[in-house]
Structure formats: C-alpha cells, structure tokens
Amino acid sequence: MAESPNRPAHPLDAPEAAAGGSACGSLGHTPAASICAVPSRCVRCDEPLTTPLVCGSCRTVFPAANEYDHFARFGLPRTMEIDERDLERRYLMLSRGLHPDQFAVRGTEDKLLAEQLSAHVNDAFSVLKDRFRRAEYLLELEGGPQRAQEKRTPAGFLAEMLEVNEQIEEARGALDDSARKQMASLRAEITKRRDAFLAEVAQAFASLPAQGDLRRPGVLLKIRERLNACAYLEGLSVQIREMLVS
C-alpha cells in the first residue's frame, strides 16, 4: 500500500463514528468503564476495529496514540476484570499489525509511527497483564491517592506483619531444612493474602461511586490501603525468595 499524502483522519474522528456514539474523542472527561469498549470501523477498509491504533484487516496505522490510556489502546474498557487471554490476543494482533515488516514498503513517517505505537503497546501490555500494576494504573486514572501521598494500610495489617517479619528473621538466623519448608509455605500464604487483597480491590473498583459522589474518596482510599498492603507483601515475598535461593 502506497503512502497516502492525505492520511485518513483517525477513525474515531470520522462523522459516522461520532454518530455511532463512541466516546473516545472525549477520553478523560467521560466516566470510566464504557470508553472505547465498542470499536468503530476502519476509515480505509470499513472493517471493524479491535483497537483504535491499527486496523487488523488493511494494516492502516492511526496516529494519536498518546491520546489513549492503556485500556483504550487495546480497545478495552477501564476495568480490573480483563480476560487475560483476550488481552493477549489483542496484543498479538497489535504487535503483528505494527511489526516493522509491515512497513518495509511504506514511508518513513508510517514506520516511525508504528515504532512509537509498538513501544506504547508494549508498555500498556506489561501494565495490564499484571493484576497489581493494572490496579495501580486504574487507581491513577480514577484520580485516587498515590502511594507517595498515602501510605496507610488496612487496620491491623502492620501489627500482623510484625509477627511475619519476626518469623522471617528467625528463619534467616538458622536456615535449616525445616526453616526452609516453613518459609516456602509462608511465601505461599503471602501470595494468597495478596490475591485476596487484589480481589477486594477489584470488587471496590466494580462498585466505585461516580465522580462527585461523597462516598467515592472513601472507596479510593480503601483501594489505596489494600494496594499498599500488596506492595508490602510483595516485598516480603521477594525477601523470602532471595533467602531461599541463597
């Protein structure tokens, strides 16, 4: 396909897309969840788009990647509940669509654009495929408190962790077979605990009150506290892993 001097407008700027009710043009000003959930059609070949970055049929690449958040890049709504196989499928489709080989006969501008989009897509994938990072990112998008500003953890958590820290220090002092076994099972418990917090976080996001609702800051704080606990647990898990490989 030859490079067209007048690149088509972004598909989501097309009049039919606007009439179709896609909210992507106003990203950042609309409530979460429904944004970009329904892909519009490619302006060049009229096939449905899975993501707003590249057409899976005719390989047209659309600029304006910076206007999209990580969810929108994959054509997904802002939610914790992502089907990870679907995410992977979309990632592979995008990676193929943006592969340098696709642009061998095209102009430099397209090639550079595809490279840039590839980097964005890789970033987005690494964040979304990891539940913890996905939650942190979602909290940021929803305007919740960041870890640097708000270090609280759920009530009782740190007291409980004092005990866990003691167990770890004890094992470190005398790392025999039985201590190793104990640490391996402690690590499994820590992972379970972290997963339970992440499940609570997902639930809180699913019922997050709308902007302006007085209950919203409380729910965002609850999410922050649980993510802080997850980060702490991850730190412990890494400590134990390093101790066990030494």
Residues in contact with Zn ion by the rule CB under 5 A: 42, 44-45, 55, 57-58, 60
Residue closer to Zn ion, measured from CB, 42 or 135: 42
Residue with tokens 């640097």: 148
Residue with tokens 């820290």: 165
CB of 91 to Zn ion, least distance (A): 19
Residue 65, token pair as written in the block: 């990647």
CA distance linking residue 129 with residue 139, whole number of Å: 16
Q: Which residues contact 194 (CB under 8 A, 6 or more apart)?
A: 132, 229, 230, 233, 234, 237
Residue closer to Zn ion, measured from CB, 6 or 149: 6
CB of 78 to Zn ion, least distance (A): 25
Q: Which residues contact 86 (CB under 8 A, 6 or more apart)?
A: none
CB of 59 to Zn ion, least distance (A): 7
Q: Give me the count of residues in the chain.
A: 246
Residue closer to Zn ion, measured from CB, 57 or 79: 57
Q: Which residues contact 246 (CB under 8 A, 6 or more apart)?
A: none
Residue closer to Zn ion, measured from CB, 42 or 227: 42
Residue closer to Zn ion, measured from CB, 54 or 124: 54
Handedness of CA 123, 78, 229, 168 (dihedral sign): negative
CB of 45 to Zn ion, least distance (A): 3
3-state secondary structure of 87: helix
Residue closer to Zn ion, measured from CB, 49 or 223: 49
Query: From residue 43, how far is each of 12, 65, 209 by CA, in Å?
Result: 9, 17, 36
Residue closer to Zn ion, measured from CB, 17 or 55: 55
Residue pair 90/73 in contact (Cβ under 8 Å)? The answer is no
CB of 54 to Zn ion, least distance (A): 9
CB of 49 to Zn ion, least distance (A): 8
CB of 94 to Zn ion, least distance (A): 14
Q: What are phi and psi of 181, to 5 degrees?
A: -60, -45
Residue 63: name the closest of 16, 110, 5 by CA: 110
